Every structure is written in structure tokens, then in C-alpha cells.
């Protein structure tokens, strides 16, 4: 009796439809790896826009905002100068592009050592020790034997790389002297043929989607030439084609007809001939092409708004959220891939720039998502409100020492760039904790107290009254010129900044003097150019110029702590402009300097515009 072999299928099988059997149409579908050659990759990158953008965009975005070193200003300057000398940012971008295109690349840390096969001793690098940085692709570096020692720092990586120099010379380079960048990493190098330790080109997995999109676009382009077809019916046409003279006459006849039609739009036909036109419809073709481009966008993991350079359209458009997710992924890639890969290079860079390695020196990748001017102003206002709350606003006890809070706030504003020139101003005028009255101020105060009669201390001037404090704008002409240039009509006559508007009575003397907040020029206050500025409606004004000023905010809070009220939710320094109708979308905020005069104390007048 013969052996019987039974084949068991652990899957859904339908003998009627042949699903799951050998006759299933899907049974022949399988994945096969067909590697793209270097010539194909180069041709795609050089001749087609989609492959080039897929390679370049993430590489560029990963270094676009670069990074922020956390240290003293002079140390940061030295490190950034060293980065510029070595063109580090450009070298990383070049390496990322080559890695994404070819599957791998490396940055060689050139220290002038003769023996490149030995490990790089970072601790021995002194000031100026990094001589150059050279980008090498995986086509120039051949990976050697893999390190199989689990205790080795380079486990799973080649023990050395071989660089082919010129036509004959070969140089071995230790992996500690290289910053390795990969395209699409291999899941398991033991299952991959070819170049060990290198990845795949990012175009390998998206090339089919690219070809389909390019093919669809090419077919749509060819249809343009068939958009309109002229059809002419000629009596006895087929029967007459056997005559060669007839062929020549018919070609000459309709060549002349087309020529006449092209000149004056008149088509000359015989009475018995019939003429009609057929037009191709392109109504659904844009949607078809968009679908293919969306597939490319998903395959490349790049939002369509970034890949195609177009704004999202439609009710369900999510361009902003897609971009945020994309930048979040790039930020994670910077932390997970780029930071570890660049660790040795960064350590060598610090020593080359400073001659030593400060223990507290580090960097953070700068945010990739750029905020609008309004978002910057909102963040600034949020930080200022939080600082006022910590300082004990609205009569509450302070939660933090005011000097410590001021130092932290200055550092925050310097780092995020909310107040351009703040760091230089602090160096010139000092911090809040360093503000002390000058000898002239002390002498003047002593003379004033000595000259004043004792009974004046209890005069009616100290009786609590409502309080309105403002600073009038000094450089009115500059702001008026800006307003006229942007079509802002009916500018208010008295441009000013309201500091406090308190209907609650207060002893004005307790409100203090603004001059105690630092050096002043005839009581004037200069708001430097730049920083967050927005033009928005506020109260009964259709347009006000909002700007950032920590000194005005602190002055407002000081008077509030002295007992004044603030009848409006939140406080934001601003200059009221007009009540007339204006198109705010077309107005670019005034970004020049704002010069404010000394503080003016008055009682509250509800008819005044604040």
C-alpha cells in the first residue's frame, strides 16, 4: 500500500470561489527584493523631482534649526565658531543626504593622526585638535569583519572600514574616528547580503510608488494633446483609398482646411462632408493624481504639504497637524539617531574649541516648529502672567524671591528670543537685583526730605484716590508714518501706553517712582526694535499695537501690589490706534523702536481711552 501524504491548510479555504487554494489569484503575490543599483539611484536623484525631494527634505529639516548649547555666552561663542570653521552643519547635511540616497555615509574626524586604524583618543585632543571633517559615502568605505564580542562597545559593527584612496592605496579606519549615518537601517545584518553594516537607500521602498505617480502624471500630460479631436466624415472614404492620387488629394485637402481654420477659425468643407468634435474630460484626473501623490507622501513619511509645497485644502484638511507630527518625528530622530552617532564628534569638537571639557556643558536640539508672531506674543504674555503670579500679584504673598524670579525670567527671554537685545542690555544696566540708587539719587532724596516741612507728610496729597498711570509716546511721527503706510485711518490724537487704570482708591505715594527701576533718560523708557508685535482689536478699539516689555509689566504689577486694582482681565502693554474699520490681515505690525515719556499720574476719567 502506497504512502498517503495529507496537506493541512491552517487558513480559510473556499472550494467554490477557490479562495485559499492553489487557484486563488492572490496566491501568486509575494514580496521579492530587487535592489536598486547605484546607477538607478543616481539617475532617479538627478532626473526626477520626487526622489530628490524625498532624499533632501528630511536631511535638510533635521539640521535646519540646528541646536542650542547651554553654557556661558563666551563658551557658546567659541563652540559655535569651531562649528563654523569646520562647517559642521553643512557636513552633517551632506552626510545625511548621501546616507539617505546610497544607504550609508560617514563623517571622518580628521585629527592629523598618522595611524587611522587605532582608536581615537578623545581625551588627548587639545585646542584646535580637530583639523577637518570629511564626508565619505558607503561607495567609498568598505566595511570589514564584524565585531562579534558582546562585551565590545562596537558589537555588531565592523572592526574597521577600508577607504580606497586614489587607484591603489587602501587605508583602514577605526570606527571610533567615524560618525556613521544610515539610510533605512537593516533589521538583521546576518540576513542581508552585500554591504554589511550599511542600510538601504530610502528610495528602495518607495520607488514603486514614485514610478506609479510619475507614470500617472505622464499619461495625464499626454492626454492634453488629445483633449480635442476633430472628426470629419467623408463619403466613400474607404472605397477611394485604393487610389494613390486620392490619398494625396485628401491629405492636401485637409492640410489646407486645417491651415484655413488656424488662420481665421473657418473650416472649409464640401457640402456632403460632416464635421464634429470630441473633447476629453479631465474632471476626475486631478483627484487620481492627488491619490498617487498621497501614496508617495505616505511611503516617504513626509506630509504632502511639505513634499509638494502646497497648502492643505478642503474641510478635512490637516496640514498643520501633519507637519507637527512630522517635526515631532524628526525631533525624535535627532535624539535617537543623530545624538548618539555624533557623540564622539561632539566631545572632540568641545575640546578642539575650548581645550578642555566643562562638566556642565550640553546642548539641546532647537525646536523645528516655528511659531507665528501672535503665538510668540501669547507665549510671552503667558510667561509674564505666570511670573507676576509667582511674584505675588493682586495683593498675594510672593511664592519666589523677586530677584531669583527676575534672573530666571531674563534667562528664559534670552533663550527664546522674546526680547531682542535683552542680554546686551542686562550686561550694560545690570539685573533687577543689581539695581541700586546712585549717590546722586541718595543725595537728592536726602535734600528733598530735609527741605520738606514735617507736616507735609500727612498732607492731602497722600489721601487715597483713583489712579490712572500712563506713558505718552515720544516718537509719535514714526508710528504715524507707519500707520499711514498701512492705511490705518483716524489715528487717536494722544498715543500712549496705559500702565494702571484703578478705580479703587490708592495712596499714590505707595505706587513708587519708575526711576527706581533702573537708569532712565529724562524719565523716558526705550522699547528696542523687534520682539513680538501684533495688531489686534481690544475693547472699543478696532486696532491696537501690542508689544512686549518686561519693565512695563513689572511696573504694572508693582503698583497693583501697592493696592491698585486692575479692572481688565490680564495686562498687556499696548498702544491704542483707531476705532475705524481696518483690515487687520493686511497690516504688518510696527517693529521699530518705541520711545515713551515719563509716567503721568491722574485720577480715573471714564471718558479717556486706555
User: What would the pLDDT profile of 305-325 be if each residue is shown by its tens digit?
Assistant: 899 887 654 444 455 778 888
* Average pLDDT estimate for 509-529: 71
Confidence of residue 221 (pLDDT cuts 50, 70, 90): confident
| Ranges 152-156, 188-192, 488-492, most confident | 488-492
Q: Which residues, in sequence order, are bridge partners of residue 594?
A: 527
Q: Which of 278, 323, 275 is nearest to 297 (CA)?
A: 323
Better-predicted residue by pLDDT, 355 or 5? 355
* Strands annotated E in 368-451: none
Q: Which residues contact residue 476 at a Cβ distance below 8 angstroms, ignoring those fewer than 6 apart?
A: 495
pLDDT surpassing 90 at residue 284: no
Q: Report residue 468 CA to chain centroid gap.
A: 43
Residue 396 has pLDDT above 70, yes or no: no
- Binned at pLDDT 50, 70 and 90, residue 262 comes out as low
Give the residue with greater pLDDT, 439 vs 482: 482
* Residues sharing a CB contact under 8 Å with residue 382, sequence separation 6 or more, in sequence order: none
Residues in the chain, total: 610
pLDDT score, position 5: 46
What is the per-residue pLDDT for 109?
97
Rounded to an integer, what distance in angstroms lies between the CA atom of residue 279 and that of residue 281? 7
Residue 283 confidence (pLDDT) above 50:
yes
Residues 182-187, mean pLDDT to the nearest whole number: 87
461 has pLDDT over 60: no
What b/e sequence results for 82-115 when a residue is b if at least 16 CB atoms lie within 10 Å of its CB, and e otherwise?
bbeebebeebbbbbbbbbbbbbbbbbbbebebee
Q: Residue 521 above 90 pLDDT?
A: no
Which residue did the predictor score with more confidence, 156 or 468?
A: 468
Burial class (CB in 10 A: 0-12, 13-18, 19+), 151: exposed
pTM (predicted TM-score): 0.61
Residue 157 reports pLDDT greater than 70: yes
Q: Could you tell me the pLDDT band of residue 81, with boundaries at 50, 70 and 90? A: very high
Pick the range with the lowest mean pLDDT from 164-178, 231-245, 257-271.
257-271
**For range 145-153, the mean pLDDT:** 86
Q: What is the pLDDT of residues 376-392, one digit of tens each?
A: 777 788 887 887 777 76
| Confidence label for 42 from pLDDT (cuts 50, 70 and 90) | very high
pLDDT of residue 292: 93
Phi-psi region of 473 (alpha: psi -120 to 50; beta: other; left: phi over 0): beta
Share of the chain above pLDDT 70, in %: 80
Average pLDDT over residues 435-460: 51
pLDDT for residue 195 is more than 60: no
Q: What is the structure's pLDDT at 520?
A: 46
Which range is most confident: 51-60, 425-434, 475-484, 599-608?
51-60
Average pLDDT for residues 297-302, to the nearest whole number? 93
Q: Do the beta carbons of residue 55 and residue 41 sit within 8 Å?
A: no
Mean pLDDT, the chain, integer: 82
Any idea which of 50-59, 101-110, 221-230, 369-378 has the lowest mean pLDDT? 369-378
Render pLDDT for 111-141 as a digit per residue (tens, 0 to 9). 999 999 999 999 999 999 999 999 999 888 9
**What is the spatial distance between Cα 24 and Cα 8, in angstroms, rounded to a whole number?**
17
Angstrom distance (rounded) from CA 317 to CA 311? 9
- For 164-184, what is the mean pLDDT? 84
% of the chain residues with pLDDT over 90: 37
Question: Does 543 score more than 50 pLDDT?
Answer: yes
Measured CA to CA, the distance from residue 233 to residue 275 in angstroms comes to: 6
CB 599 within 8 A of CB 470: yes
Distance CA 247, CA 249 (A): 5
- pLDDT band, residue 235 (cuts 50/70/90): confident
**What pLDDT is attached to residue 28?**
64
State the average pLDDT over residues 448-463: 50
| pLDDT of res. 154 | 84
Compute the average pLDDT of residues 505-517.
76
How many angstroms separate the CA atoms of 133 and 349, rounded? 11
Which pLDDT does position 179 carry in this prediction? 96
Which pLDDT band, with edges at 50, 70 and 90, does 82 fall under? very high
Query: Who's near 122: CB < 8 A, 6+ residues apart?
Result: 344, 347, 348, 351
- Beta bridge partners, 545, equal 535, 575
For the ranges 39-43, 282-286, 445-449, 592-596, the lowest mean pLDDT is seen at 445-449
pLDDT higher for 6 or 133?
133
**What pLDDT does 393 receive?**
60
CA 88 to chain CA mean position, Å = 20
User: Quick one: CA torsion of 234, 226, 249, 274, rounded to 10 degrees?
Assistant: 20
Q: What is the pLDDT of residue 556?
A: 87
Amino acid at each position: 500500500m502506497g504512502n498517503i501524504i495529507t496537506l493541512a491548510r491552517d487558513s480559510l479555504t473556499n472550494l467554490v470561489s477557490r479562495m485559499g487554494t492553489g487557484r486563488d489569484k492572490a496566491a501568486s503575490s509575494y514580496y521579492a527584493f530587487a535592489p536598486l543599483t547605484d546607477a538607478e539611484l543616481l539617475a532617479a536623484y538627478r532626473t526626477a523631482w520626487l526622489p530628490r525631494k524625498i532624499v533632501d527634505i528630511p536631511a535638510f529639516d533635521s539640521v535646519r534649526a540646528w541646536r542650542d548649547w547651554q553654557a556661558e555666552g563666551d563658551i557658546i561663542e567659541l563652540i559655535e565658531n569651531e562649528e563654523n570653521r569646520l562647517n559642521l552643519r553643512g557636513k552633517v547635511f551632506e552626510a545625511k543626504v548621501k546616507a539617505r540616497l546610497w544607504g550609508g555615509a560617514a563623517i571622518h574626524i580628521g585629527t592629523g593622526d598618522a595611524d587611522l586604524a587605532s582608536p581615537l583618543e578623545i581625551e588627548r585632543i587639545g585646542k584646535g585638535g580637530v583639523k577637518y571633517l570629511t564626508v565619505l559615502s558607503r561607495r567609498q568605505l568598505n566595511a570589514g569583519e564584524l565585531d562579534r564580542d558582546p562585551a565590545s562597545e562596537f558589537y555588531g559593527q565592523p572592526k574597521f572600514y577600508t577607504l580606497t584612496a586614489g587607484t591603489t592605496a587602501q587605508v583602514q579606519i577605526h570606527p571610533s574616528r567615524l560618525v556613521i549615518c544610515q539610510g533605512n537601517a537593516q533589521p538583521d545584518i546576518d540576513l542581508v547580503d552585500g554591504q554589511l553594516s550599511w542600510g538601504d537607500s530610502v528610495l528602495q521602498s518607495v520607488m514603486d510608488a514614485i514610478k506609479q505617480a510619475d507614470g500617472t502624471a505622464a499619461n495625464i500630460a499626454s492626454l492634453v494633446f488629445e483633449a480635442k479631436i476633430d472628426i470629419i466624415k467623408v463619403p466613400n472614404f474607404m472605397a477611394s483609398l485604393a487610389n494613390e492620387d486620392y490619398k494625396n488629394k485628401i491629405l492636401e485637402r485637409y492640410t489646407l482646411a486645417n491651415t484655413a481654420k488656424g488662420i481665421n477659425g473657418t473650416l472649409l468643407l464640401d457640402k456632403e462632408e460632416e464635421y464634429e468634435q470630441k473633447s476629453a474630460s479631465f474632471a476626475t484626473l486631478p483627484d487620481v493624481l492627488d491619490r498617487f501623490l498621497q501614496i508617495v507622501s505616505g511611503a516617504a513619511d513626509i506630509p504632502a504639504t511639505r513634499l509638494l509645497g502646497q497648502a492643505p485644502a478642503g474641510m478635512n484638511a490637516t496640514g498643520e497637524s501633519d507637519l507637527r507630527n512630522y517635526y515631532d518625528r524628526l525631533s525624535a530622530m535627532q535624539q535617537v539617531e543623530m545624538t548618539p552617532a555624533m557623540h564622539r564628534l561632539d566631545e572632540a569638537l568641545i575640546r578642539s574649541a575650548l581645550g578642555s571639557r566643562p562638566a556642565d556643558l550640553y546642548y539641546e536640539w532647537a525646536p523645528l516648529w516655528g511659531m507665528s508672531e501672535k503665538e510668540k506674543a501669547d507665549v510671552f504674555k503667558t510667561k509674564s502672567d505666570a511670573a507676576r503670579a509667582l511674584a505675588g500679584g493682586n495683593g498675594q504673598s510672593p511664592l519666589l524671591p523677586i530677584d531669583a524670579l527676575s534672573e530666571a525670567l531674563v534667562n528664559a527671554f534670552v533663550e527664546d528670543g522674546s526680547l531682542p537685545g535683552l542680554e546686551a542690555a542686562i550686561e550694560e544696566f545690570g539685573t533687577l537685583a543689581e539695581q541700586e540708587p546712585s549717590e546722586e539719587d541718595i543725595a537728592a532724596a536726602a535734600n528733598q526730605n530735609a527741605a520738606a516741612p514735617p507736616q507735609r507728610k500727612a498732607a492731602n496729597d497722600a489721601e487715597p484716590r483713583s489712579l490712572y498711570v500712563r506713558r505718552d509716546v515720544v516718537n509719535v511721527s514714526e508710528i504715524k508714518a507707519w500707520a499711514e503706510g498701512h492705511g490705518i485711518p483716524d489715528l487717536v490724537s494722544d498715543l500712549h501706553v496705559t500702565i494702571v487704570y484703578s478705580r479703587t482708591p490708592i495712596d499714590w505715594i505707595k505706587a513708587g517712582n519708575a526711576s527706581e527701576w533702573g537708569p532712565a533718560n529724562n524719565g523716558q523708557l526705550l522699547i528696542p526694535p523687534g520682539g513680538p508685535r501684533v495688531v489686534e482689536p481690544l475693547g472699543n478699539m478696532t486696532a491696537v499695537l501690542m508689544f512686549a516689555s518686561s519693565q512695563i509689566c513689572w511696573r504694572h504689577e508693582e503698583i497693583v501690589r501697592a493696592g491698585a486694582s486692575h479692572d481688565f482681565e490680564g495686562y498687556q502693554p499696548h498702544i491704542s490706534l483707531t476705532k475705524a474699520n481696518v483690515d487687520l490681515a493686511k497690516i504688518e505690525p510696527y517693529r521699530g523702536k518705541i520711545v515713551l515719556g515719563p509716567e503721568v499720574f491722574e485720577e480715573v476719567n471714564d471718558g479717556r481711552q486706555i
